[in-house]
Amino acid sequence: MTTDTEYRVTEELGNGTLHVFALPTDTETLLSLVTEIFTDHWRQIGFGVIVQGAAWEVAAPNALRRIGVYDGYVTVDFGAWHFHLRIGEHTASGPELGRIRRCARAELYRRVGGDGAPCLRCSTSSLNARTCGWSSSYSVTSPGQPSRNARVSRPAARRTT
């Protein structure tokens, strides 16, 4: 997944300077991204939910057993355990929960070092070493913190002004 794309620069409390690359939130794009990450890069990534005050940092125990979509949720199944992400239209829970649970924002982000260059390695801790570089973030339309999934790849990028 290497692209030449534009990004915005933001400061995030606790993470410093980030380059943020917005992605489309349609089902096809999100399914393609999730499929590529967990099929082709499962050995290289850590992933999980990060909100202020809590982090679940998970590594895939093995290659995928199955990936599929049912009623708007993609299921990523490793055999012993699995997870679901809402990426499409969901009808079973009604329109209000369907609206709240739908992915409203998807983006890739990377940390930036003090010199202004993308951070390719962080030496302060194993957490930083695993989360530095590409990450993907999903949030829903309801108030709250976005979840974060760790490094996948580093595309060539140009800054927007």
Count: domains in the chain: 1
pLDDT of 120: 64
Closest CA to 20 of 128, 79, 108: 108
Is this model's pTM higher than 0.85 or not? no
With a cut of 70, list the residues of the chain below it in pLDDT: 1-4, 120-161
pLDDT of 4: 57
Closest CA to 86 of 99, 77, 94: 99
Domain around 102: 5-159
